[in-house]
Amino acid sequence: MSPMSITAELREVAGARGLAWMLASREVRVRYKHTVLGIGWALALPVALMLVFTFLFTRVAKVDAGGLPYPVFVFLGLVPWQLHANILSGAARCLTDQRNLVTKVYFAREALPLSVVLSALVDFAVAMTVLAALMAWYGIAPGPGLALVPVVLAVQLALATGLALVLSAANLLYRDVQYVLQVGLQVWMFASSVVYPIPRTGNLKWLAWLNPMTPILDAWRTCITGAHFGLAPEFGLAALISVVVLVAGWRWFRRMERVFGELA
């Protein structure tokens, strides 16, 4: 097999998108099969966390939610964060859990991490319906920024997909990755503006610049509610980081892919 050109590789990945959809729909169908609530379970975790953090940060301690009602603020942090966390933890296991596929059949391996991204998006879309109800309850009308939501989603998915590719391959090399990731995700969540805003001034301002998740989460809030969070240059840097992570992650995945059949 002579080495493929990048365009040939891209064509192969594009050819596998049908398979990624198929695997994602299998995953979603199996996940909620034989449950009474079915896909309603996608709401359970974000709603429960929203209630917990609302109690914590309105009764126990106060945070400045930038003028938004805290439940709306935190829900717009938790749901995109859950999407991110679900993609990463699902991706870390996707190759190792499907070793019978990886060692027996050939297809563009990207289909497996991509299917994790797609199936996480289904849960995300379901959870976002609660947001509409929540905003109606508080009388918040979405602003014109709503049109930019696809851009925010694309940047977040680029980052998550790049990391998903790296994590899926890395976990084949070292099964430690899936455990390190669980710790890392917890730390990362509290280092991002998920349940409280990250200050743009003072000692912690570098957290807002270096961690692309903070500008991304703030961009969700800005675009959907019209409230003002964060600044365009931070989001621009986050977008740049995301694209670099996606490209570098994919190239590394391709390099490692040669030995998947032996590692899985």
Partner 1 sequence: MTAAAEFISVSKRFSRRAKVRTLAGLAGQWLRGPKRGPDGLLPHEFMALQDVSFAVQPGESLGIVGPNGSGKSTILKLLFRILRPDRGQVVTKGRVGGLIELGAGFHPYLSGRENVSINGAILGMSRADIRRQYEAIVEFSGLAEFMDMPVKDYSSGMYARLAFAIAAHANPDVLLVDEVLAVGDAGFQLKCYDWMARMRTSGRAVITVSHDMYAMAASTRCLFIKSGQVKAHGDARQVIEAYLTDLSRDRHDPVLETNFIKTADGVPRAEIKSVELLDGLGRPVTSIGHGANLMLRFHYHAAEQVHSPIFALTLFHDDPRYPLNLPRHYLFHVFSGPAFADQTLKGSGTVEVLVEDVRLPVGCYRAKTYLFERDGVSPIFVQDGVARLEVDRPDWSDGRPLLEHRQRWTITSHVST
Binding site for partner 1 (CB under 8 A): 1-2, 18-19, 22-23, 26, 29-30, 33-34, 98, 100-107, 173-176, 258-259, 261-263
Nearer to partner 1, 58 or 178 (CB): 178
Q: Which is closer to partner 1, CB of 156 or CB of 171? A: 171
Nearer Cβ to partner 1 (60/105): 105
Give me the least distance between CB of 253 and partner 1, in Å please: 15
Instruction: Give min distance, CB of 228 to partner 1, in A.
Output: 44
Residue 197: CB minimum distance to partner 1, A: 36
197: DSSP letter: P
- Closest separation in Å from C-beta 31 to partner 1: 10
Whether the CB-CB separation of 171 and 177 falls below 8 Å is answered with yes
CB-neighbour burial class of residue 143 (10 A; exposed 0-12, middle 13-18, buried 19+): middle
Q: In whole angstroms, how close is the CB of 62 to partner 1 at the nearest point?
A: 43
CA 233 to chain centre: 21
**Kindly report the CA angle at 20 between 224 and 177, in degrees rounded to 5?**
80
Taking the least distance from each CB to partner 1, the nearer of 101 and 243 is 101
Q: Which is nearer to partner 1, 114 or 152 (CB)?
A: 114
**What are the residues whose beta carbons fall under 8 Å from the beta carbon of 245, sequence distance 6 or more?**
158, 159, 162, 163
Instruction: Supply the minimum distance, in Å, between the C-beta of residue 258 and partner 1.
Output: 5
CA distances from 112 to 69, 77, 146 (A): 39, 27, 31
Sign of the torsion formed by the C-alpha atoms of 151, 157, 163 and 169:
negative
Residue closer to partner 1 (CB basis): 228 or 258: 258
Return the number of other C-beta atoms located less than 10 Å from residue 37's C-beta. 10
Chain centroid offset of residue 195 CA: 16
d(CA 58, CA 198): 17
Q: Quick check: 39 and 32 in contact, CB under 8 A?
A: yes
With CA atoms as reference, report the closest residue to 90 among 186, 181, 207: 181
Closest approach, Cβ 7 to partner 1, in A, equals: 18
Residue 60 or 183 with smaller CB distance to partner 1? 183
Structure tokens at 209: 């610049």
